[in-house]
Amino acid sequence: MLTGSQDQVFTRSRSVVSRVVGGETLIVPVRGKVGDLASIYSFNGTGSLIWQLLDTPHTLAELIDAVEHEYAVAPEKAQNDVKQFLNDMLSVELVAVRPVAADKCEIAGIDMSATDSNQQTMLETSATN
């Protein structure tokens, strides 16, 4: 169930394989390094759009906005469809969710380590001069 979804980002689970076959998106969960062929999922157009977007982390609002604009539907309809899809996918572990702050910290951590490295080099250079 979605809770606090404004502070969360959603992305595909890493334990799935997906392919588009005949215009349909097919998802096969991978369990123990083997495809679980008893649990193949297929998505309609809306599900395929959301699944494609989930290749990178997106907030609930971003997903709703994309569905609303792609299919020219009312915001309430887009919201209901996206929430239903995410709840269904979360229940079978095809979608992962994490706090938005985790994404920002990872990015800040990368930037910060590069900055720290540059500052250390500058300090070492200053100390030797």
pTM above 0.85, yes or no: no
Please give the Cα distance from 6 to 59 (Å, whole number). 7
| pLDDT at residue 57, as a whole number | 95
Q: Indicate the SS3 state at residue 118.
A: helix
CATH classification code of 5-100: 3.90.930.60
Q: What is the pLDDT of residues 57-108, one digit of tens each?
A: 999 999 999 999 999 999 999 999 999 999 999 998 899 999 986 555 444 4
Count CA atoms closer than 13 A to 69's CA, side-chain side: 6
Q: Indicate the SS3 state at residue 83.
A: helix
| pLDDT at residue 24, as a whole number | 85
Q: What is the pLDDT of residues 34-56, one digit of tens each?
A: 556 667 889 989 999 999 999 99
Please give the Cα distance from 49 to 97 (Å, whole number). 18
Q: Where are the domains of the chain?
A: 5-100
pLDDT at 18 over 70: yes
